[in-house]
Amino acid sequence: MNIGNFFKISFKALANNKLRTFLTMLGIIIGVGSVITMLAIGQGSKKSIQSQISEMGSNMIMIHPGAQRRGGVRMDASSMQTLKLTDYKSILSDAQYVSYVSPVVQSNGQFIYGSNNYPSSIYGVDADYLEIRQLSVEDGDLFTDLDVQTNAKVCVIGKTIADNLFTNGENPIGEVIRFNKIPFKIIGVLKSKGYNSMGMDQDAVVLTPYTTVMKRILAVTYLESIYCSAVSEDMTEKAIDELTEILRENHKLLANDEDDFTIRSQQELSSMMSSTTDTLTILLSCVAAISLIVGGIGIMNIMYVSVTERTKEIGLRMSVGARGRDILTQFLIEAVLISIAGGLIGVLLGVLASVAIKMFAGWPTYIQPWSVIMSFGVCTLTGVFFGWYPAKKASRLDPIEAIRYE
């Protein structure tokens, strides 16, 4: 008997009892659908956290002055003055694995415009800072190298600042706001980035040349930190090693001296965050796997009952010349057809459910192709596995007893 006939027979048998077929499929449909949906939710939250991190700049490397021991007393890192402009200049000229570098000096205070005021930090940075933090200027311009050289009192403000100071909808560009009685001319407004995953408003910033902050506001010669970005995410490790070398040399540290600075990369943060979501994904996958097994057991139940219910039919098929293995093949093909059809419907429902959750509940979902392939494959295997035993039982029936079975 050729395989086409088997399919014809199995298909016919399934079509003849649509309700039974559908109920059998239901287990698989729910199994596959829930695996896909749950994985989509897990992957979606992982991805959204990852993208938030990369919004902050995935290649970002932060250099802070390190805690240092002075005569046995460990000093507070923020009070250290070990990072100098010369470090910035050496990194700028020597580092190969670093694509952007910017010094950062920061001060806090009230910004005042007319009768409005708003508290915020003012960051003294280089133009590279925007590349490192993946910021962009929406309106107006960024300050130039000339502004940096001349300690110009110009600034670029974030959306939150603009909204709070310019409440009547005035165009902020060209206006002058005051910070610690120093007037700053607004030359640009940053594109909004919203809140980050830690709940910090990324738009409550004012950027100005670092020279301005160092000389006009803080009157200091050291830097609070240096931000860099590695040429690519993979190069982060190499960039960190290189930066360590440059800084140790600059600071004239001996081989067994501790670093007087600390270098941290965004990758550490990223791996910490994704381990949280991995736990979530594992949890959801377990729930989904259980539903898949339940679906498989459903197939076994119905196939098993169906063998008993169809004993007479099996007896007839055997009496007209079906061999045990023909019956086995027919029941297996039925199980495979049910599993595949159920799997396909499950994939469809899972995808629809993921999209619906994204649209109506607003949860981030992301369907990974491997999750579809895996759940579909597992369900087909489950179906065949659980269909095997009843099929084997059917193939071993005695035709004499089967045909007289009532």
- Interface residues toward another protein, by CB under 8 A: 1-2, 4-5, 8-9, 12, 16, 312-313, 315-326, 399-400, 403
Phi, psi (rounded to 5 degrees) for 227 = -105, 135
Least distance in angstroms from the C-beta of 334 to another protein: 14
**Which residue is listed with tokens 């709070």?**
164
Toward another protein, which CB reaches closer, 140 or 324?
324
Least distance in angstroms from the C-beta of 23 to another protein: 17
Residue 216, token pair as written in the block:
């006009």
Residue 182, token pair as written in the block:
């120093």
Q: Which contiguous run of DSSP H or E holds residue 52?
A: helix 18-55
CB under 8 Å to 283, separation ≥6 — which residues? Answer: none
Toward another protein, which CB reaches closer, 12 or 89?
12
Phi, psi (rounded to 5 degrees) for 106 = -135, 145
Toward another protein, which CB reaches closer, 6 or 222?
6
Least distance in angstroms from the C-beta of 303 to another protein: 18
Least distance in angstroms from the C-beta of 312 to another protein: 7
The separation between CA 272 and the C-alpha centre of its own chain, rounded to angstroms, equals: 12
**DSSP calls for 341-378:** HHHHHHHHHHHHHHHHIIIII-------HHHHHHHHHH
Toward another protein, which CB reaches closer, 19 or 219?
19
Least distance in angstroms from the C-beta of 394 to another protein: 14
Burial, 3: exposed, middle or buried (Cβ in 10 Å; 0-12, 13-18, 19+)? exposed
Least distance in angstroms from the C-beta of 8 to another protein: 7
Least distance in angstroms from the C-beta of 21 to another protein: 13
For residues 307 and 328, give the distance between their C-alpha atoms in angstroms, rounded to a whole number: 11
Toward another protein, which CB reaches closer, 4 or 199?
4
The number of beta carbons lying within 10 Å of the beta carbon of residue 318 is 21
φ/ψ region of 199 (left if φ > 0, alpha if ψ in -120 to 50, else beta) reads left
